[in-house]
Chain A
Amino acid sequence: MTEVASTPDYAPEPRTVALIDLLDRVLAGGVVISGDITLSIEGVDLVHISLRALVTSASTRMLADPS
């Protein structure tokens, strides 16, 4: 992960982190009730699906464009 190595060891919070903070909440939080459709994919954790999307996209998009 050369993209990671090229970033400062302790960088100020990049703006994209705001999205990750939001996802922490809108994915994991607010589990009030199961929807009709989300119920059927309950076995596949929403958070894991989405984090996989994030991790695979992170190096190519988010880190390459910290603005």
Chain B
Amino acid sequence: MTEDMAVWLYAVTPEPAPAGLTELTGVLGAPVRVVRASGLAAVVSSVSRAEVGEEPLRRNLEDLDWLAATATGHDAVVGAVTSSATAVPVRIATVYHGDDRVRDVLTEHRTAFAATVDLLAGRTEWGVKAYAASNHSDESADVPGDAPAGTSGGAPGDVPGDAPGSGAPGGGQRSGTAYLLRRRAQLRARETADHLAARDADRVHTELGSLAVAVRRHPPQHSRLTGTRANMVLNAAYLVDDARAEHFATAVTELDARGPLLHLYLTGPWPPYSFSRIAEVTT
């Protein structure tokens, strides 16, 4: 290991590690290697510090192209490991100074890794996202022409400058008042709809959670990222016994059909990223 290289960790799996891992290509085009200690195998790549040193890493994580390529490359290796063995996936950008440090980590956390492997064995992560189905597009169709259409989405990141009426200094008093009243009613109706959708989402989460051995809710995705104005009210991960996978998928379909307030999406199978926090499972 030369001074200008660092070690990128993908996943940890009990020995014997699956064959063929060293034929994979990992992040930044680096070959994949295995580092062994304490009956565990760490799947790693050597990567240049010019890419993953502290400063470059911070910069690179803000670069969408780098982030997308690296996340995809990381996931490809993790997926290859988890498809042929039970493995604990590691968050991207977990980087060590050298192989010795990786061995230290394997040895130091060997009990916790073993407990996590026990939790993950024979189980798969599935994702379920729910969008509130309320139709917000009517709002923009109703408002006077001077109101910016973009505000009807109500995304959390909407800039304050988009406030209704801000661009209409010459607008009549009466139409302005009517607009504000109508707008207020719309917002209230929308709040109610969102509240009901959130309650339904909690119910869906509880029901699906009863079919899983572990659950985790991720923050809802920003509407600007999903490209839809519909509010995401549930973004959850479920660790499901492989024997119940079909049952789980059926339950999602049925819950989707049952409630008019929510649209559900099932994603997966995923490597168990959402359930590999060893500190949380070593109870």
Q: Across the interface, do B273 and A29 meet the contact criterion of CB distance under 8 Å?
A: yes
Identify which of B88, B93, B223 contacts A35 (C-beta below 8 A). B93
Are the CB atoms of B92 and A52 closer together than 8 Å? Answer: no
When the two chains form their complex, are residues B89 and A30 in contact, meaning their CB atoms are under 8 A apart? yes
Contact of B278 among A13, A19, A33 (CB under 8 A): A33
A13 to B93, CA, bound (A): 28
Q: Are B58 and A5 in contact, with the CB atoms below 8 A? A: no
- Chain B, interface SS category: mixed
**Known contacts A1-B155, A23-B71, A14 near B53 by CB under 8 Å:** no
**Count of residues in A whose CB is under 8 Å from the partner chain:** 52
Q: How far is the CA of A18 from the CA of B140 in the complex (A)?
A: 29
The residues of A with any CB-CB pair to B shorter than 8 Å are 1-2, 4-5, 7-11, 13-14, 16-38, 40-41, 44, 46, 49-55, 57-59, 61-63, 66
Q: A20-B226, A40-B54 are in contact. List 10 more A-B contacts (CB 8 A).
A: A2-B150, A13-B226, A24-B218, A25-B270, A27-B92, A28-B91, A29-B276, A36-B96, A53-B67, A58-B225
26 example contacts (A-B, Cβ-Cβ < 8 A) are as follows: A1-B155, A2-B150, A4-B223, A7-B229, A9-B135, A19-B72, A21-B267, A25-B270, A25-B271, A26-B92, A27-B71, A29-B89, A29-B216, A29-B276, A30-B88, A34-B94, A37-B52, A37-B54, A37-B95, A38-B93, A41-B54, A46-B92, A54-B67, A58-B224, A58-B227, A62-B225
